[in-house]
Chains A and B, each alone.
Chain A
Amino acid sequence: MMKDDNRSGDKRLSQTYRRAAGVGAGCGSNCPASTRLSDLSEGRLWSWQRRALLAHLSTCSHCADDYRSLLSAREGLQQALMGVAAPRGHGIGSWLTGAGTAAAAVALLAVVVLSPETQAPPSTPVADNGHGVIFSSDFDAGREPGDSENASDDLLFSSNFGDNGNS
């Protein structure tokens, strides 16, 4: 019950603040360029630039909304774009088409198999996953991906004062 009161109180404060800060000014000449907001979301700004942008986001509701839109899609977009290594028609991918792809694959395989450097001497310890192939992930033992998920257990306060995580 008290939590609900806190949430509604926070919401009222937020609405009052946004009315006072935004005042329907819209994005005028004082608002940062869209590329600058993009840089902020990717951590590409100097600290003084970041501070200036934060001051603006604190007082311009429209830019704050727009920036939150970027944040909401950031992770997914990053992963999607990183997955596009070299689509067809781009750079090295453009000439690797049809028969060229097959020929290149055969040539690459031959080079790898015949190269003496790819064969480790018997005395060299290697990470082997049992299939005769070395994966970089075989060296990553010990990392616990779920570790960071327990960070909320360390919070000093049990109240979230209205922060439900999906504002």
Chain B
Amino acid sequence: MDRPPSTDQDNQADGERRARRSFDQLWTRISGHVRFAVSRHRSSDAALAADDLTQEVRIRVWEVYRRDRNSSFNASYYMKVVNSAIIDSLRRHRGTLAHSIREENDDGIGLVEQIDSDEPGPDARMESGLQQARLMVAIEQLPAARGKAVALYLQGFTVAEVAELLKCDENRAHNLTYRGIRDLKKMMGENHDER
């Protein structure tokens, strides 16, 4: 039996299949890293949300990959595509229930578990507000370089990350942060060094 001559549609479908196969290879290599990125700062019980976010990133990268399949693979370009997809996905889900688990308190208890806990009273809220205002004023009083390093450190960046962001070596970042935090504690009336 003669095979019917291949049409443009056949060729297109064949190309699509090849692209999908090669994309699957690419995704196998990067999916673990993507999942790690979207899972960071999350509780372990937020696994489902991490899967959702990873899937969103996959779809976004596939859309770019499919359009781009006739040009040579550019790792740097795809780094940007993947990074943007991760950020956009995290932003899109901010405020949803699963995402709010990221906002954990001191004891690692998510917002969901806090619903039944005691709400802080007006006094505690006011005290907290005053504390925040005092801290912001104290940071402004630090020398500029220390203030920058301290602000980034308090946002959760490690000293190594602060060094990279400030484009300085790690020792300098360590000194700036250490001295800044020490001054801050003095100004805030917490003499931790003397305990």
Q: Which residues of A contact B (CB under 8 A)?
A: 2, 5-6, 9-21, 26-27, 33-35, 37-39, 41-42, 47, 50, 54, 57-59, 61-62, 64-66, 68-73, 76-78, 80-94, 151, 154-157, 159-161, 163, 165-167
- C-alpha spacing A17/B135, complex, angstroms: 7
Which residues of chain A are near B139, meaning CB under 8 Å?
17
**7 shortest A-B CB distances, which residue pairs?**
A91-B72, A38-B83, A20-B132, A34-B87, A73-B37, A58-B151, A17-B154
Interface status of B166 (Cβ within 8 A of chain A): yes
Q: How far is the CA of A60 from the CA of B152 in the complex (A)?
A: 10
Judge whether A88 and B25 touch: CB under 8 Å: yes
Q: Which residue of A lies closest to B78 (CB)?
A: A81
B40, A68: Cβ atoms closer than 8 Å: yes
- When the two chains form the complex, which single residue of B37, B88, B158 contacts A165, counting CB atoms closer than 8 Å? B158
Please give me the residue from chain B that is nearest to A154 by CB atom: B171
* B73-89 with Cβ < 8 A to chain A: 73, 75-76, 78-80, 82-88
Nearest A residue to B195, CB-CB:
A5
Q: How many residues of B contact A (CB 8 A)?
A: 77
Nearest CB to that of B38 among chain A residues? A69
Q: Interface SS of chain B: helix, strand, loop or mixed?
A: helix
Query: CB distance A66 to B87 under 8 Å?
Result: yes
B188 beta carbon closer than 8 Å to chain A: yes
Q: A76-B36, A83-B29 are in contact. Are A65 and B83 (CB under 8 A)?
A: no
Judging by beta carbons under 8 Å apart, are B91 and A72 in contact? no
Q: Judging by beta carbons under 8 Å apart, are A85 and B73 in contact?
A: yes
| Cα of A71 to Cα of B84 in the assembled complex, Å | 13
Q: A57-B155, A85-B73, A167-B156 given; name 13 further pairs at CB < 8 Å.
A: A16-B132, A17-B155, A34-B84, A65-B102, A66-B86, A68-B161, A73-B36, A87-B25, A87-B73, A89-B23, A90-B69, A155-B174, A163-B158
Report the Cα distance A129→B69, complex, angstroms. 39
Q: B29 to A84, Cβ gap below 8 A?
A: yes
Q: Cβ of B158 and Cβ of A86 under 8 Å apart?
A: no
Name the contact of B30 in the complex, choosing from A39, A70, A77, A89 (C-beta under 8 A): A77
Tell me the bound Cα distance from A32 to B178 in angstroms.
29
Across the interface, do B95 and A26 meet the contact criterion of CB distance under 8 Å?
yes
Determine which of B80, B159, B161, B165 lies in contact with A38 in the assembled complex, contact meaning CB atoms within 8 Å.
B80
Contact B90 A69 (CB under 8 A): yes
Q: Nearest Cβ in chain A — how far from B89, in angstroms?
A: 9
| Complex-state Cα separation, A134 to B158, whole angstroms | 42
